[in-house]
Amino acid sequence: MITERANLQQELEEDRLRTDRLFALLSPDAIYERPIPERHRLIFYVGHIEAFDWNQLCRWTLDLPAFHATFDQLFEAGIDPTVGHVSRDSPSDWPKLDEVQRYNERVRQEVDRVLDHVPEEMIHMAIEHRLMHAETTAYLLHHLDSAYTCKPALESLCLSGEVATDEMVDIPDGTATLGRQGDEGFGWDNEFGQHDESVPAFAISRYNITNEQYVRFVEEEENLLCFGHGKANHGDCGPCFTMCRCRFSGRCM
Ligand SMILES: [Fe+2]
Protein backbone atom coordinates (compact mmCIF):
# COMPACT_ATOMS: atom_id res chain seq x y z
CA MET A 1 0.00 0.00 0.00
CA ILE A 2 1.30 3.44 -0.93
CA THR A 3 1.22 5.69 2.10
CA GLU A 4 0.46 9.38 2.15
CA ARG A 5 4.09 9.99 3.12
CA ALA A 6 5.37 7.98 0.15
CA ASN A 7 3.09 10.01 -2.12
CA LEU A 8 4.47 13.21 -0.68
CA GLN A 9 8.04 12.08 -1.22
CA GLN A 10 7.26 11.20 -4.81
CA GLU A 11 5.51 14.52 -5.35
CA LEU A 12 8.48 16.41 -3.93
CA GLU A 13 10.75 14.53 -6.33
CA GLU A 14 8.53 15.33 -9.31
CA ASP A 15 8.28 18.99 -8.33
CA ARG A 16 12.05 19.21 -8.04
CA LEU A 17 12.17 18.10 -11.68
CA ARG A 18 9.68 20.83 -12.55
CA THR A 19 11.78 23.59 -11.03
CA ASP A 20 14.97 22.08 -12.47
CA ARG A 21 13.41 22.19 -15.94
CA LEU A 22 12.51 25.83 -15.52
CA PHE A 23 16.01 26.87 -14.53
CA ALA A 24 17.42 24.70 -17.33
CA LEU A 25 15.69 27.06 -19.78
CA LEU A 26 18.11 29.81 -18.80
CA SER A 27 21.35 30.42 -20.60
CA PRO A 28 24.34 30.78 -18.24
CA ASP A 29 24.38 34.54 -18.92
CA ALA A 30 20.82 34.90 -17.67
CA ILE A 31 21.39 33.57 -14.17
CA TYR A 32 22.54 36.94 -12.83
CA GLU A 33 19.86 38.95 -14.63
CA ARG A 34 17.04 40.69 -12.76
CA PRO A 35 14.05 40.56 -15.14
CA ILE A 36 11.85 42.63 -12.82
CA PRO A 37 13.45 45.51 -10.90
CA GLU A 38 11.48 44.84 -7.71
CA ARG A 39 12.47 41.16 -7.58
CA HIS A 40 15.78 39.43 -6.92
CA ARG A 41 18.26 38.35 -9.54
CA LEU A 42 17.47 34.87 -10.88
CA ILE A 43 20.45 33.35 -9.05
CA PHE A 44 18.56 33.98 -5.81
CA TYR A 45 15.68 31.73 -6.83
CA VAL A 46 18.08 28.98 -7.95
CA GLY A 47 19.31 28.75 -4.36
CA HIS A 48 16.22 29.90 -2.51
CA ILE A 49 13.89 26.97 -3.15
CA GLU A 50 16.40 24.44 -1.80
CA ALA A 51 17.53 26.71 1.04
CA PHE A 52 13.91 27.05 2.11
CA ASP A 53 13.52 23.25 2.28
CA TRP A 54 16.74 22.89 4.21
CA ASN A 55 16.05 25.72 6.65
CA GLN A 56 12.43 24.80 7.26
CA LEU A 57 12.56 21.01 7.29
CA CYS A 58 16.03 20.22 8.58
CA ARG A 59 17.38 23.16 10.56
CA TRP A 60 14.25 24.56 12.17
CA THR A 61 12.11 21.42 12.42
CA LEU A 62 14.72 18.74 13.14
CA ASP A 63 17.39 21.06 14.59
CA LEU A 64 20.16 19.76 12.33
CA PRO A 65 23.43 21.73 12.25
CA ALA A 66 24.17 23.94 9.23
CA PHE A 67 26.68 22.71 6.66
CA HIS A 68 26.75 26.09 4.83
CA ALA A 69 25.36 28.78 7.14
CA THR A 70 26.27 31.63 4.76
CA PHE A 71 24.14 30.23 1.93
CA ASP A 72 21.37 29.27 4.36
CA GLN A 73 21.07 32.93 5.27
CA LEU A 74 21.75 34.47 1.85
CA PHE A 75 19.18 32.32 0.10
CA GLU A 76 16.63 32.59 2.86
CA ALA A 77 15.68 36.16 1.95
CA GLY A 78 18.30 37.51 -0.47
CA ILE A 79 20.06 40.86 -0.37
CA ASP A 80 17.57 43.44 0.87
CA PRO A 81 17.50 46.88 -0.76
CA THR A 82 17.55 49.97 1.41
CA VAL A 83 14.06 51.08 2.43
CA GLY A 84 12.27 52.92 -0.38
CA HIS A 85 14.73 51.85 -3.11
CA VAL A 86 14.92 49.04 -5.62
CA SER A 87 17.76 46.56 -5.19
CA ARG A 88 21.20 47.78 -6.17
CA ASP A 89 23.22 44.62 -5.65
CA SER A 90 25.49 43.57 -8.49
CA PRO A 91 26.15 40.09 -9.94
CA SER A 92 29.48 39.95 -8.14
CA ASP A 93 27.64 40.14 -4.81
CA TRP A 94 26.29 36.65 -5.50
CA PRO A 95 28.10 33.30 -5.44
CA LYS A 96 29.09 31.40 -8.56
CA LEU A 97 26.41 29.17 -10.06
CA ASP A 98 28.38 25.96 -9.57
CA GLU A 99 28.76 26.72 -5.85
CA VAL A 100 24.99 27.17 -5.58
CA GLN A 101 24.38 23.98 -7.51
CA ARG A 102 26.68 22.05 -5.15
CA TYR A 103 24.79 23.53 -2.20
CA ASN A 104 21.49 22.50 -3.78
CA GLU A 105 22.68 18.93 -4.35
CA ARG A 106 23.81 18.61 -0.75
CA VAL A 107 20.50 20.05 0.49
CA ARG A 108 18.53 17.47 -1.46
CA GLN A 109 20.69 14.65 -0.12
CA GLU A 110 20.24 15.87 3.44
CA VAL A 111 16.51 16.47 3.08
CA ASP A 112 15.97 13.02 1.56
CA ARG A 113 18.04 11.40 4.30
CA VAL A 114 15.79 12.68 7.07
CA LEU A 115 12.49 13.16 5.30
CA ASP A 116 10.87 10.25 7.17
CA HIS A 117 11.23 12.27 10.37
CA VAL A 118 9.70 15.49 9.01
CA PRO A 119 5.99 16.05 9.83
CA GLU A 120 3.82 15.59 6.75
CA GLU A 121 2.41 19.10 7.14
CA MET A 122 5.90 20.52 6.66
CA ILE A 123 6.46 18.46 3.51
CA HIS A 124 3.17 19.79 2.15
CA MET A 125 4.42 23.28 2.91
CA ALA A 126 7.75 22.70 1.11
CA ILE A 127 5.93 21.36 -1.96
CA GLU A 128 3.51 24.28 -2.00
CA HIS A 129 6.37 26.74 -1.64
CA ARG A 130 8.27 25.11 -4.52
CA LEU A 131 5.21 25.22 -6.78
CA MET A 132 4.56 28.86 -5.94
CA HIS A 133 8.11 29.66 -6.98
CA ALA A 134 7.73 27.58 -10.13
CA GLU A 135 4.84 29.84 -11.05
CA THR A 136 6.59 33.11 -10.19
CA THR A 137 9.81 31.95 -11.86
CA ALA A 138 7.88 31.24 -15.06
CA TYR A 139 6.50 34.76 -14.77
CA LEU A 140 10.01 36.18 -14.31
CA LEU A 141 11.24 34.30 -17.38
CA HIS A 142 8.55 35.97 -19.47
CA HIS A 143 10.22 39.28 -18.66
CA LEU A 144 13.61 38.12 -19.90
CA ASP A 145 14.90 38.87 -23.37
CA SER A 146 14.37 35.68 -25.39
CA ALA A 147 18.10 35.60 -26.14
CA TYR A 148 18.57 34.53 -22.53
CA THR A 149 16.37 31.46 -22.73
CA CYS A 150 16.34 28.29 -24.78
CA LYS A 151 13.33 26.38 -26.04
CA PRO A 152 12.22 23.42 -23.93
CA ALA A 153 12.37 19.98 -25.48
CA LEU A 154 8.90 19.41 -26.89
CA GLU A 155 8.56 15.93 -25.38
CA SER A 156 8.74 17.41 -21.91
CA LEU A 157 5.53 19.33 -22.56
CA CYS A 158 3.54 16.30 -23.73
CA LEU A 159 1.20 14.77 -21.20
CA SER A 160 -0.55 11.47 -21.49
CA GLY A 161 -4.06 10.62 -20.36
CA GLU A 162 -7.55 11.79 -21.09
CA VAL A 163 -8.02 15.02 -23.00
CA ALA A 164 -9.87 17.53 -20.84
CA THR A 165 -13.13 18.92 -22.14
CA ASP A 166 -14.22 22.53 -21.78
CA GLU A 167 -17.25 21.52 -19.74
CA MET A 168 -18.52 24.28 -17.47
CA VAL A 169 -19.94 23.73 -13.99
CA ASP A 170 -22.55 26.10 -12.56
CA ILE A 171 -21.92 27.13 -8.98
CA PRO A 172 -24.95 28.58 -7.14
CA ASP A 173 -24.67 31.74 -5.08
CA GLY A 174 -23.79 31.32 -1.42
CA THR A 175 -21.44 32.23 1.39
CA ALA A 176 -17.78 31.27 1.19
CA THR A 177 -15.61 31.14 4.30
CA LEU A 178 -12.13 32.38 3.42
CA GLY A 179 -8.87 32.36 5.36
CA ARG A 180 -7.91 30.40 8.44
CA GLN A 181 -7.89 31.06 12.14
CA GLY A 182 -4.70 31.92 13.99
CA ASP A 183 -4.62 28.63 15.91
CA GLU A 184 -5.04 26.36 12.88
CA GLY A 185 -1.39 25.44 12.47
CA PHE A 186 0.88 26.36 9.58
CA GLY A 187 -0.31 28.91 7.05
CA TRP A 188 1.18 31.54 4.76
CA ASP A 189 0.99 35.15 5.99
CA ASN A 190 -1.91 36.10 3.74
CA GLU A 191 -4.04 33.09 4.69
CA PHE A 192 -4.91 34.19 8.21
CA GLY A 193 -7.98 36.21 9.17
CA GLN A 194 -11.03 34.04 8.63
CA HIS A 195 -14.06 35.83 7.18
CA ASP A 196 -17.24 35.17 5.19
CA GLU A 197 -17.96 36.55 1.73
CA SER A 198 -21.20 36.33 -0.20
CA VAL A 199 -20.50 35.08 -3.71
CA PRO A 200 -22.97 35.45 -6.60
CA ALA A 201 -23.64 32.48 -8.87
CA PHE A 202 -20.94 31.79 -11.44
CA ALA A 203 -19.66 29.09 -13.78
CA ILE A 204 -16.19 27.59 -13.87
CA SER A 205 -14.53 25.14 -16.23
CA ARG A 206 -14.30 21.63 -14.76
CA TYR A 207 -10.69 21.20 -15.89
CA ASN A 208 -7.70 23.49 -16.22
CA ILE A 209 -7.43 25.26 -19.56
CA THR A 210 -5.17 23.20 -21.83
CA ASN A 211 -2.58 24.59 -24.21
CA GLU A 212 -4.75 23.49 -27.11
CA GLN A 213 -7.80 25.35 -25.76
CA TYR A 214 -5.70 28.41 -25.08
CA VAL A 215 -4.30 28.46 -28.62
CA ARG A 216 -7.83 28.08 -30.00
CA PHE A 217 -8.95 30.98 -27.84
CA VAL A 218 -6.08 33.18 -29.02
CA GLU A 219 -6.84 32.39 -32.66
CA GLU A 220 -10.57 32.98 -32.26
CA GLU A 221 -10.33 36.08 -30.13
CA GLU A 222 -7.16 37.62 -31.51
CA ASN A 223 -8.71 41.05 -31.96
CA LEU A 224 -10.26 41.13 -28.52
CA LEU A 225 -7.17 40.37 -26.45
CA CYS A 226 -6.00 43.21 -24.28
CA PHE A 227 -3.05 41.86 -22.34
CA GLY A 228 -1.39 44.66 -20.40
CA HIS A 229 -2.24 47.64 -22.58
CA GLY A 230 -5.71 46.95 -23.90
CA LYS A 231 -6.58 47.08 -27.56
CA ALA A 232 -10.20 46.64 -26.64
CA ASN A 233 -12.15 48.11 -23.80
CA HIS A 234 -12.89 45.45 -21.20
CA GLY A 235 -13.33 47.73 -18.20
CA ASP A 236 -11.23 46.98 -15.16
CA CYS A 237 -10.86 43.23 -15.71
CA GLY A 238 -7.28 41.97 -15.71
CA PRO A 239 -5.99 39.86 -18.58
CA CYS A 240 -7.17 36.55 -17.11
CA PHE A 241 -10.64 37.84 -16.45
CA THR A 242 -10.72 39.36 -19.90
CA MET A 243 -9.82 36.05 -21.48
CA CYS A 244 -12.51 34.17 -19.61
CA ARG A 245 -15.17 36.74 -20.25
CA CYS A 246 -14.51 36.77 -23.99
CA ARG A 247 -14.22 33.00 -24.24
CA PHE A 248 -17.28 32.11 -22.26
CA SER A 249 -19.81 34.57 -23.56
CA GLY A 250 -19.75 37.32 -21.05
CA ARG A 251 -19.23 35.36 -17.87
CA CYS A 252 -16.43 36.74 -15.74
CA MET A 253 -14.57 34.01 -13.84
FE1 LIG B 1 10.07 31.72 -1.11
* Centre of ligand 1 from the C-alpha of residue 166, in Å: 33
* Centre of ligand 1 from the C-alpha of residue 89, in Å: 19
CA–CA separation, 74 and 41 (whole Å):
13
Q: What is the pLDDT of residue 209?
A: 84
pLDDT(248) > 80: no
Q: Which of 56-65, 84-93, 167-176, 182-191 has the lowest mean pLDDT?
A: 182-191
Better-predicted residue by pLDDT, 132 or 239: 132
Backbone torsion region of residue 217, taken as left when φ is above 0, otherwise alpha when ψ lies between -120 and 50, otherwise beta = alpha
Q: What is the pLDDT of residue 119?
A: 92
| HSE toward the beta carbon, residue 176, CA cutoff 13 A | 10
* Centre of ligand 1 from the C-alpha of residue 187, in Å: 13
* Centre of ligand 1 from the C-alpha of residue 95, in Å: 19
Q: Does domain 4-151 have CATH number 1.20.120.450?
A: yes
Is residue 63 very low, low, confident or very high in pLDDT (cuts 50, 70, 90)? very high
* Centre of ligand 1 from the C-alpha of residue 136, in Å: 10
Q: What is the pLDDT of residue 243?
A: 35
* Centre of ligand 1 from the C-alpha of residue 251, in Å: 34
Query: Quick check: 236 and 226 in contact, CB under 8 A?
Result: no
Q: What is the pLDDT of residue 64?
A: 96
pLDDT(153) > 70: no
CA–CA separation, 238 and 206 (whole Å):
22
Is residue 245 very low, low, confident or very high in pLDDT (cuts 50, 70, 90)? very low
CA–CA separation, 182 and 192 (whole Å):
6
Where are the domains positioned within the chain? 4-151, 168-247
* Centre of ligand 1 from the C-alpha of residue 129, in Å: 6
Q: Which of 152-156, 203-207, 208-212, 231-235 has the lowest mean pLDDT?
A: 231-235
* Centre of ligand 1 from the C-alpha of residue 228, in Å: 26
Mean pLDDT, residues 211-229:
71
How big is the chain by its Cα radius of gyration, in Å? 21
* Centre of ligand 1 from the C-alpha of residue 79, in Å: 14
CA–CA separation, 50 and 19 (whole Å):
10
CA–CA separation, 221 and 201 (whole Å):
25
pLDDT(249) > 60: no
* Centre of ligand 1 from the C-alpha of residue 130, in Å: 8
Q: What is the pLDDT of residue 155?
A: 57
